[in-house]
Amino acid sequence: MNGFTYFIPTRVEFGRQSLEKLADLLIKGGHKQLLLHYGGESAKRSGLLDRVLKQVEKSGANYTALGGVNPNPKVELVREGVRLCKEKQIDFILAVGGGSVIDSAKAIALGAKMDRDIWDVFERKCSPDQAVPIGCVLTIAAAGSEMAGGMVVSNAEKGLKRDYGSECLRPVFCIEDPTLTYSVSRWQTACGIVDILMHTMERYFSPTRNTELTDEIAEGLMRAVIRAGRVVCENPEDYEARATLMWASSLSQNDLTGMGRQADWATHQLEHDLSGMYDNVSHGAGLAVLFPAWARYVMDDDPERFCQFANKVWGLSDNCADRNALALGGIQAAADYFAALGMPRTLKSFGVESDRLPEMAEKCSFSGTRTLGSVKKLSCEDMLAIYRMAYEG
Amino acid sequence: MNGFTYFIPTRVEFGRQSLEKLADLLIKGGHKQLLLHYGGESAKRSGLLDRVLKQVEKSGANYTALGGVNPNPKVELVREGVRLCKEKQIDFILAVGGGSVIDSAKAIALGAKMDRDIWDVFERKCSPDQAVPIGCVLTIAAAGSEMAGGMVVSNAEKGLKRDYGSECLRPVFCIEDPTLTYSVSRWQTACGIVDILMHTMERYFSPTRNTELTDEIAEGLMRAVIRAGRVVCENPEDYEARATLMWASSLSQNDLTGMGRQADWATHQLEHDLSGMYDNVSHGAGLAVLFPAWARYVMDDDPERFCQFANKVWGLSDNCADRNALALGGIQAAADYFAALGMPRTLKSFGVESDRLPEMAEKCSFSGTRTLGSVKKLSCEDMLAIYRMAYEG
C-alpha cells in the first residue's frame, strides 16, 4: 500500500427531501451572493429549479442565474460565469445538475479568483489553488464530481477536453435526493452507470500491490452498482437502486476506492480526446467502448489483476487453469454488461472516421509528449492501437 | 436505505514518514498554543514524543504537555486538561496516542469552551457543539476515534463510563504511520482488532433494509481486517497488515460502514458498564466476550442478517437449509476468531463477580430508564440476561 492523503470535507445530505436542508446550509455557510448554475430546460420543467429558488429565498441570499450547461461543458460558458462572478461579487456557486454542471461551476469558481484566462489552467500554464466555494444539488448519478476535486472542460475551438484538479474544488456540500434521478433517461442513466464503474476501475487497475482493504471496498462497490444498474433499467423509480447508484457515484470518485494505490486513468484520457473531437459522444458511452479495448491491450502486463476482476467483480470461477481465458472473460463480462445497458460496442457506431484516429492519438498524447496509464505506460502508438481496436470493437 | 448526513472533514496523512508532515499541518492551521496530550511512558521511551516535539518546534508553536492518559480515560485528567487550556489559552490540542488519548483530548477540547463541569455533558445535562480543534498522531489501530465525532470517558468515582458525540469533535487531521503500531503488544493489538470489527458490526446489525452498498463495504472491511489480524499476530512488523488495520480502524468508525442504516450499539453500551465497573477490563476484550452473548440473545429477531454475516464475512456456505445453524455458525466463527486472537470467552475470567451483574444491568439501563439496541430493544432484564450468558460464555 502506498502512502496517501485522504481529505474529503464535502458534507453530503442524502435522502428523500434532503433538498429541504438547502436554506440552512446556505445560512450556516454565510453565503449571500450566489451564482445559480444549471443545465438546460429539464431543471425548469421538472419544477426542481423552483424548489431550489424557494430555498435560496428562504436563506435570504441574492442570486444570479446562469443556465445552459451542456454535456461536455464548454469553456465559453465558463468565461461568462467568471465574468458574472467578478461583476456581481459572487461568494458562492450553487450547481444544480450533474457532472457537467458541477464541473462548469468548478471552472468558474477557479476562474473567478484568477487574473488570467481559465483555459490556461487546463493547458497547465498555471496551478491555482483558490476558488469560490461550491455547493451542489445533484440530479444525475454518474460523474461523482460532487465529492471530488477534479473537473473536465471542453474547448470546442481547439477540439480539446482537458482536466484539472485541486483540493479547493471539492464542493462544501452536496444534496443527494435519489428521487431527483427518477426522470433521468435510460440512456443517461446507463452512461452514468458506466462512469461510476469506470471511476473505480481506473483506480482498481494499478501497479501497486497489497491494497486489500481498498480492493474489497472497490469490488463491493462495483458489485452493488452492477446489480443496481440492472434494477434501474427495469424500473427507473426503484428508490433503493437509485439510492445505491447515487451514493456510489460519490464514493467512486471521491478517492475512497483508490486509497493507497497508483491509479491508471488511461481509459478516461483516451475518452476525453474522443469526445473532445466528437461532441456527440457521451462520456459514459465513450468509456464503455474504450475500456474493453484498453483492457485487452494491457492485460498481459497484469494478468492476475484481470483474473481477480473476473472473479470478484463478475463472479467468474477462480478455479480456471487457463488464466488468460479467465482474464479475458472478465473483460468480456464488463463489455457485455455495458452493451446490455444499451451502450455501443464500437467507435464506428458513433460516426467516428477511422482516418481521424491518428489525430486523436496525437492529441491524446499531447503530440507525443506524454504517456498515459500506469498498468502499462501507453505511447502515442499504443493509444492509436487501442483506438483502432475500439473502432471495430 | 435511510437518509443520512455524511460529513468527515478529517484530513488523514497516511504512510511511512507521514509524521514529517506534522509541522506543515500545524503551520497551515495557524495553531500557536498547543496542548500536547499523550499516554504513559511508551511514547517517551520509543522516541515518538521527541519526534513529535521536533515537528512542533519546527512549526514555531508553543506547547504545554499533559501526559498520563490511561486506558478508559478518566474525567479527573480531563478536568486538569480543561484547566490548562483555559489558563494557557490553548488553541489546538495535539493527541499522541490511541483512542483513550484522543477521547481524553476531545473531552478537554469540549470542556475548554464550557463554563460548567465536563461531566455534565456525559450525563446529558447539556449538549455543547463548540470545541478547541484537535489533531492526532495515531499509535494504535483500534478505536477509530481519529476520524469520529464521538468519545467515551470514565468517572471512577461513580463507576461510570459514558459517551458523547458532536460534529465539532472530529479531529481536523490525523497522522497515520503504520510503523508506529509495530510495538503495540499482541494483547493490545488483538483488543484493537476486536474493536475495529465491532465498530462495523454495531452498524451492520440493523433493522434497516436495502443497504446493499453499505453492506458490501462493511463486509469487505471485516474480511480484510480478519485476514490482516491473523497476519499481524504472526508477524507484528508486517507493514501491509498493520496498514490495513490502521486504515480500517478509521473507516470502521468514521460512519462509512453505517451510512443509511440505523445502528445497534448495544454491545458497546453493555461493555461500557462492564469496564466502567471493572477497570481491568480492556474495551476490546469486553466486546469480544459480550458480542457472542448479545448475538445469540437477539438473533431470532433478524435471522437472515446473521446468516448473511456467517456467509459473507466468515465464508460459511449459504447452501444451508438449517438457517438457525448457519446464523449460529457465524456467531461461533466470530467468537472463535476472537479467542484465537487471545481474547477471553467469559466475564468470569475478568474476575467479574456474578452477584454484581444486576448492578451492571441497572447502571447500563440508566436505572431502567433506557433501552439499548435496535435489532432488539433491550430492557434492563434483557441486559442482565446477556451479562449472565456472557458470564459463563
In whole angstroms, what is the distance from residue B170 CA to residue B164 CA? 12
Contact between B216 and A212 using a beta-carbon 8 Å cutoff: no
Q: What is the DSSP string of A299-324?
A: GGGSHHHHHHIIIIIT---S--S-HH
List chain B residues with CB under 8 Å of A6. 11-12, 14
List chain B residues with CB under 8 Å of A13. 3, 5
Cβ atoms of residues A248 and A221 within 8 Å: yes
Q: What is the pLDDT of residues A214-229, one digit of tens each?
A: 999 999 999 999 999 9
Its sign, for the CA torsion B366, B368, B370, B374, is positive
pLDDT at B41 (0 to 100)? 80
Distance of CA A382 to the CA centre of its chain: 24
List chain B residues with CB under 8 Å of A141. none
Contact between A213 and B227 using a beta-carbon 8 Å cutoff: no
Phi/psi at B279 (5° precision): -65, -15
Q: pTM here?
A: 0.97
Residue of A167, A181, A197, A213 to mutate when probing chain B, most B C-beta within 10 A = A213
In whole angstroms, what is the distance from residue A194 CA to residue A44 CA? 27
List chain A residues with CB under 8 Å of B4. 12, 14-15
The 10 Å Cβ neighbour count of residue A251 is: 28
In whole angstroms, what is the distance from residue B246 CA to residue B240 CA? 10
Non-local CB neighbours of A54 within 8 Å, separated by 6+ positions: none
Cβ atoms of residues B221 and A217 within 8 Å: yes
List chain B residues with CB under 8 Å of A252. none
Contact between A2 and B16 using a beta-carbon 8 Å cutoff: no
Contact between B217 and A220 using a beta-carbon 8 Å cutoff: yes
Contact between A213 and B8 using a beta-carbon 8 Å cutoff: no
Q: Which residues make beta-bridge pairs with A93?
A: A35, A134
Q: DSSP class of residue B90?
A: -
A28 CB near a chain B CB, below 8 Å? no
Contact between A259 and B244 using a beta-carbon 8 Å cutoff: no
Its sign, for the CA torsion B265, B270, B273, B275, is negative
The 10 Å Cβ neighbour count of residue A351 is: 9
Non-local CB neighbours of B239 within 8 Å, separated by 6+ positions: A1, B16, B178, B179
Task: Look at the block and give the residue holding cell 461568494.
Answer: A91
- Give the nearest partner residue to B11 out of A2, A7, A227, using CB atoms: A7
The 10 Å Cβ neighbour count of residue B18 is: 22
- Decide: helix, strand or coil at residue B42: helix
The 10 Å Cβ neighbour count of residue A124 is: 10
List chain A residues with CB under 8 Å of B225. 213
Q: How confident is the model at residue A160 (pLDDT cuts 50, 70, 90)?
A: confident
Q: What is the nearest CA distance from A306 to chain B, expressed in angstroms?
A: 19
Contact between B1 and A228 using a beta-carbon 8 Å cutoff: no
B124 CB near a chain A CB, below 8 Å? no
Nearest CA in chain B to A212: B224
In whole angstroms, what is the distance from residue A331 CA to residue A205 CA? 12
Task: Please give the share of chain A, as a percent, with pLDDT higher than 90.
Answer: 95
Nearest CA in chain A to B243: A1
Contact between A240 and B5 using a beta-carbon 8 Å cutoff: no
B28 CB near a chain A CB, below 8 Å? no
In the numeric block, which cell numbers belong to residue B125? 445535562
A248 CB near a chain B CB, below 8 Å? yes
H-helix or E-strand spanning residue B55 = helix B48-59
Distance of CA B134 to the CA centre of its chain: 17
Alpha helices in chain A (DSSP H): 22-29, 42-45, 48-59, 75-88, 99-111, 119-122, 186-204, 212-234, 239-253, 266-277, 283-298, 303-308, 323-340, 357-364, 380-392
Contact between A217 and B217 using a beta-carbon 8 Å cutoff: yes
Q: What is the nearest CA distance from A11 to chain B, expressed in angstroms?
A: 4
Region A269-274: mean pLDDT is 95
A288 CB near a chain B CB, below 8 Å? no
Residue among A114, A107, A79 nearest A93 (CA): A107
In whole angstroms, what is the distance from residue A257 CA to residue A200 CA? 6
pLDDT at B40 (0 to 100)? 82
Q: What is the nearest CA distance from B324 to chain A, expressed in angstroms?
A: 26
In whole angstroms, what is the distance from residue A276 CA to residue A270 CA? 10
Q: Which residues make beta-bridge pairs with A74?
A: A154
Residue among B186, B195, B198, B199 nearest B230 (CA): B186
ipTM of the complex: 0.96
Its sign, for the CA torsion A279, A283, A288, A291, is positive
Length of chain A: 393
Burial class (CB in 10 A: 0-12, 13-18, 19+), A101: buried
Angle at B385 between CA B384 and CA B388, to 5 degrees: 85
Average pLDDT, chain A: 96
The 10 Å Cβ neighbour count of residue A42 is: 15
pLDDT at A110 (0 to 100)? 98
A88 CB near a chain B CB, below 8 Å? no
Phi/psi at A79 (5° precision): -60, -40
Non-local CB neighbours of A158 within 8 Å, separated by 6+ positions: none
Q: DSSP class of residue A347?
A: S
B221 CB near a chain A CB, below 8 Å? yes
In whole angstroms, what is the distance from residue B213 CA to residue A250 CA? 12
Contact between B248 and A213 using a beta-carbon 8 Å cutoff: yes
Residue among B87, B178, B168, B98 nearest B134 (CA): B168
- Give the nearest partner residue to A2 out of B2, B15, B219, using CB atoms: B15
Contact between A240 and B210 using a beta-carbon 8 Å cutoff: yes
Phi/psi at B62 (5° precision): -90, 160
Phi/psi at B324 (5° precision): -60, -45
Region A186-200: mean pLDDT is 98
What is the full per-residue pLDDT of chain B (393 aa) written as tens digits? 999 999 999 999 999 999 999 999 999 999 999 999 999 888 888 899 999 999 999 999 999 999 999 988 999 999 999 999 999 999 999 999 999 999 999 999 999 999 999 999 999 999 999 999 999 999 999 999 999 999 999 998 888 889 999 999 999 999 999 999 999 999 999 999 999 999 999 999 999 999 999 999 999 999 999 999 999 999 999 999 999 999 999 999 999 999 999 999 999 999 999 998 998 999 999 999 999 999 999 999 999 999 999 999 999 999 888 999 999 999 999 999 999 999 999 999 999 999 999 999 999 999 999 999 999 999 999 999 999 999 998
Contact between A216 and B227 using a beta-carbon 8 Å cutoff: no
The 10 Å Cβ neighbour count of residue A91 is: 18
Nearest CA in chain A to B11: A7
Residue A393 has pLDDT above 90, yes or no: no
In whole angstroms, what is the distance from residue A114 CA to residue A108 CA? 10
pLDDT at A42 (0 to 100)? 82
Nearest CA in chain B to A173: B7
B232 CB near a chain A CB, below 8 Å? no
H-helix or E-strand spanning residue A97 = strand A92-97
Say how many CA atoms lie within 13 Å of B232 toward its Cβ: 33
Phi/psi at A369 (5° precision): -95, -5
Q: What region, left, alpha or beta, does residue A141 occupy, with left being phi > 0 and alpha being psi -120 to 50 degrees?
A: beta
In whole angstroms, what is the distance from residue B4 CA to residue B263 CA? 12
Non-local CB neighbours of B322 within 8 Å, separated by 6+ positions: none
Contact between B7 and A6 using a beta-carbon 8 Å cutoff: no
